[in-house]
Amino acid sequence: MGEIISGKALSKTIRAEVKTQVEALQAKHGKVPHLVVILVGEDAASESYVKAKGKACAKAGIRSTILKKEETITEDELLKIIQEFNEDPDTHGILVQLPLPKHIDENKVLLAIQKEKDVDGFHPLNVAAVHLGQEAILPATPKGILTMLKSTGVEIKGKKALVIGRSNIVGKPVSMLLLKEHATVTIAHSRTLDMKKEALEADILVAAVGRPNMVTADMVKEGAVVIDVGVNRIEVNGERKLVGDVDFESVKDKASFITPVPGGVGPMTIASLLQNTIECFTMVEKL
């Protein structure tokens, strides 16, 4: 059986490191990073993500403000709030929880966040920097995935990587990060003709699709490193269960390393967000 990359354990170590860094910032500069999270509407999943982010900040000693706004807020009102936090010297990171209601242009909102406070790494300038292979605030999920891959000690350079999924928040940025690490990267998506063929060639396989158990053992190369980003809620024998995009039970015997769901990429996303908040603090405070 392959070794399990525990995002739970790794994120615990990172969160402890962040806490120590925050204590050092407090001792040296008399202030701690402050993350503002803006939540629009009543989406249950978004509410639980925001709650988890606030809780993780508190545990790490990071100040957080969660601002809840009605679904009916106008785009202009939201942009004005962002501008106020941009101008506030005591705000270091601004995160607008996605998705937003349909009447609000997500692109306009992400563009409005000051680049240095863009803790999610979704501002077009941060996105561009990732694509150019330059220093940037990395989006939390891809950053967490890279940290997990590096934790295995497996060399990424020269390896064939397959990323299934081409979203702006996971698939595309993770592909760019792997490319920067000198992997030979293939990006697959819903129109890919022969997924099994592509997958069987991959030394590193990242699944970010949102389809329960779509990657099965017959698609995985012996000894591959498998990262499962998927979060899918399914019902098994009347019980609700959280599963990934990878059929963990069968794939674990073929993979050299594999991430579980839950307890894999999810906790690493939050840990990476905390790291980003410190990065933003450093930039905003010009340290």
Residues designated as active site: 53, 97, 120
Among 57, 138, 148, 265, binds ligand NAP (CB under 6 A): 265
Preceding peptide of 262 cis, ω within 30°: yes
Query: For tokens 């410190």, what's the residue?
Result: 278
Distance CA 216, CA 173 (A): 24
Question: Shortest approach of ligand NAP to residue 167 CB, angstroms?
Answer: 3
Q: Is 189 in the site for ligand NAP (CB under 6 A)?
A: yes
Q: Which residue has the tokens 């399990």?
A: 4
- 166 binds ligand NAP, rule: CB under 6 A: yes
Interface with ligand NAP includes 115 (CB under 6 A)? Answer: no
Indicate the SS3 state at residue 165. Answer: coil
In 3-state terms, what secondary structure has residue 206?
Answer: strand
Q: How far is CA 121 from CA 27, 117, 206, 275, in A?
A: 28, 9, 20, 12
Of residues 221-250, those binding ligand NAP (CB under 6 A): 229-232
Answer yes or no whether residue 193 interacts with ligand NAP by CB under 6 A.
no
169 binds ligand NAP (CB under 6 A): yes
Judged by CB under 6 A, which stretch of 35-43, 56-64, 108-116, 185-193 contacts ligand NAP?
Answer: 185-193
Binding-site member from 211, 217, 250, 263 for ligand NAP (CB under 6 A): 211
What letters, b where the CB count within 10 A reaches 16 and e where it falls short, cover 16-30? Answer: eebeebbeebeeeee
Contact between 171 and ligand NAP per CB under 6 A:
yes
81 vs 187, beta carbon nearer ligand NAP: 187
Q: What single-letter amino acid sits at 137?
A: I
What are the tokens at 96? 């607008």
In the complex, least distance from residue 101 CB atom to ligand NAP, rounded to whole angstroms: 18
172 counts as binding ligand NAP under rule CB under 6 A = no
H helix or E strand, kind and range, residue 179: helix 171-180
Is residue 48 a contact point for ligand NAP (CB under 6 A)? no
What does the block give as tokens for 177? Answer: 């990060």
Between 29 and 55, name the residue whose CB sits nearer to ligand NAP: 55
Q: Which residues contribute to the site for ligand NAP (CB under 6 A)?
A: 141, 164-167, 169-171, 188-192, 208-211, 229-232, 265-266, 269
